[in-house]
Structure 1
């Protein structure tokens, strides 16, 4: 978010840990002269490692493929 927005110095982050949560929740809000944009993502946890998302291994594979030039960005 910082790279796409105002940079690391002006980006505010709040991390909330809930051991009782049954999934991974990610939300963001961007505010400016344009108005406000917000989005939320809720993903399932990886059955073999409930500390991470099911999407994490797929993201890793996608990144490796991009680096290897196997797919277009």
Structure 2
């Protein structure tokens, strides 16, 4: 029973949006197919969860992504 957790940032600031519903459906279908193709996993028992993380809650290089992007503007 595979469980895959995909984390993506919400774009456009604290009230921004992440991937569209169509993009999420493509991610879920693609990951499920990949697990079936590579590992022979049954799609009926494959779980894919997508978490959307606000940019203030995502950090890299010791900073929040909002800070990094503000410097790039």
Shorter-normalised TM-score: what interval?
under 0.3
TM-score, normalising length: structure 2: 0.26
Name whichever structure is richer in helix by fraction.
Answer: 2
TM-score, normalising length: structure 1: 0.26
Structure with the bigger RCO (C-alpha within 8 Å, sep 6+) is 2
